[in-house]
Chain A
Amino acid sequence: MTTTEAPLSVDKPRSPARPAARRSNFELYSWIFMRLSGVVLLFLVLGHLLIMLFLDGGVHRINFAFVAGRWASPFWQFWDLTMLWLAGLHGGNGLRTVINDYSRSDRTRFWLKMLLYCSIVLTVVLGTYVLFTFDPNIS
């Protein structure tokens, strides 16, 4: 008769199997951020889609002059900036939890998250840069 390789007793039963809690509130804050940013994004994104796609001829009137006209107003600059940051961080954090759940090894998890963080920083920084330095008189 063959035997299985499973040990008959648990190795060092009283040693802690997982590291002690880090006393960090990061997961708590990211959870709350997802809820709050989600509510704000609902208004920002639906409003954005309404303006861009439906009102006043919708998507057909969008050109350089239209964008330049909108960004001349600090209100729309602020709207787009908020939307960019919230959507970037909300989507990025969502993808972070998906990676945490689905990746099979710690190495995959680490590198996927590095790729994710780089792409978030690139998108958000580039978008912010364009919003603040946009020149309507560019030739």
Chain B
Amino acid sequence: MTAPTTNASTETADLPSDAPPIPEGSTMVTVKIERYNPEVDDDLHWESYRIPALPSDRVLNLLHYIKWYIDGTLTFRRSCAHGVCGSDAMRINGVNRLACKVLMKDMFAKKGETTITVEPIKGLPVEKDLLVNMEPFFEAYKAIKPYLVATGNDPTRERIQSVAERERFDDTTKCILCAACTTSCPVYWSEGSYFGPAAIVNAHRFIFDSRDEAAEERLDILNDIDGVWRCRTTFNCTDACPRGIQVTKAIQEVKRALMFRRR
């Protein structure tokens, strides 16, 4: 038995002996991962792994394969693995995606060997491999007061809302806080403290909620130098959102609300 390959090699030529048998219909693909171990590495560096992939596999399955059978030190977040928890946002082939929502059948090269690059999401400090420090992201999220603010006595009945009133902010209720949009934004990558698309989406969700009473306060927060006016409408956020939220549209709606102070 050969010893399991560690991260010492940059190209894993042979699969480890304890790996499961290669399933029928699978193709060998190269997964290039930008890795960083703060305990040994000085900087980020690329490592490649040649592993089998089925068309029905998701990129997350490939990462699992590498972690379980080739290099157990590979670090990444994932929880539900079904596109709901928002843990496994990463840069796959240069675009922000949830690893659990990208199917391999869409990734195979038309000709020749398939190579998939996987990087941590940009703009947040990398802690280890694909794991980033999400604190700056959640700091911006908390700053826009992402909760219902209502004054007066609590009503004895439900806070009734019409179908149209609910529809007004329906799109922005879908956010799962995966940070794919915020870390795809070129303005967010730069130094500074731009709130970022995700925080604005979650502000939108309450600004346009008829039951909420703190819209003015949130609009004031987003009217400042790091708010919505830094958005350059590059639409990276809309392309990145795994939930299909029209992020740029939501930001523009906040701008319009600020201009006319009317919702």
Residues of A bordering B, CB below 8 Å: 2, 4, 6, 10, 16-18, 21-25, 27-28, 30-32, 97, 100-105
Is B127 touching A4 in the complex (CB atoms < 8 A)?
yes
In the complex, 14 of the A-B residue pairs with CB atoms within 8 angstroms, ordered by the A residue number, are A4-B127, A17-B139, A18-B193, A23-B220, A24-B224, A27-B223, A27-B227, A31-B229, A32-B259, A101-B186, A101-B190, A101-B192, A101-B230, A102-B190
Residues of B bordering A, CB below 8 Å: 38-39, 127, 133, 135, 139, 142-143, 186-187, 190-193, 220-221, 223-227, 229-230, 255, 258-259
Is A21 touching B187 in the complex (CB atoms < 8 A)?
no
Give the complex CA separation of A105 and B191 in angstroms.
8
Is B39 touching A28 in the complex (CB atoms < 8 A)?
no
Residue in A4, A17, A18 whose beta carbon sits within 8 Å of that of B39 in the complex: A4
Residue in A4, A21, A30, A102 whose beta carbon sits within 8 Å of that of B224 in the complex: A21
Q: Count of A-B contacts with CB under 8 A? A: 51
Is B258 touching A6 in the complex (CB atoms < 8 A)?
no
| Residue numbers in B under 8 Å from A32 (CB-CB) | 259
Is B223 touching A18 in the complex (CB atoms < 8 A)?
no
Residue of B nearest to A97 (CB): B230
| Residue numbers in A under 8 Å from B192 (CB-CB) | 100-101
CB distance from A36 to the nearest CB of B (A): 12
CB distance from B143 to the nearest CB of A (A): 6
Residue in A2, A23, A30, A105 whose beta carbon sits within 8 Å of that of B229 in the complex: A30
CB distance from A51 to the nearest CB of B (A): 33
Is A16 touching B143 in the complex (CB atoms < 8 A)?
yes
| Residue numbers in A under 8 Å from B223 (CB-CB) | 21, 23-25, 27-28
Is B39 touching A22 in the complex (CB atoms < 8 A)?
no
The 9 closest A-B pairs by CB, nearest first: A27-B229, A21-B220, A21-B221, A101-B190, A17-B139, A21-B224, A31-B229, A104-B191, A2-B39
Residue of B nearest to A6 (CB): B127
Chain B CB count within 10 A is highest, among A4, A10, A101, for A101
| Residue numbers in A under 8 Å from B226 (CB-CB) | 18
Residue in B133, B143, B220 whose beta carbon sits within 8 Å of that of A18 in the complex: B143
CB distance from A28 to the nearest CB of B (A): 6
| Residue numbers in B under 8 Å from A104 (CB-CB) | 191
CB distance from A91 to the nearest CB of B (A): 16
Give the complex CA separation of A10 and B229 in angstroms.
29
Is A27 touching B39 in the complex (CB atoms < 8 A)?
no
Residue of B nearest to A30 (CB): B229
| Residue numbers in B under 8 Å from A30 (CB-CB) | 229
| Residue numbers in B under 8 Å from A23 (CB-CB) | 220, 223
Residue of B nearest to A14 (CB): B142
Give the complex CA separation of A4 and B142 in angstroms.
26
Chain B CB count within 10 A is highest, among A4, A22, A23, A28, for A28
Residue of A nearest to B138 (CB): A10
Give the complex CA separation of A102 and B255 in angstroms.
23
A6 and B220 in contact, given A18-B226, A27-B227 (Cβ under 8 angstroms): no
Is A28 touching B190 in the complex (CB atoms < 8 A)?
no
Residue of A nearest to B39 (CB): A2
Residue of A nearest to B219 (CB): A21
Chain A CB count within 10 A is highest, among B38, B221, B225, B229, for B229
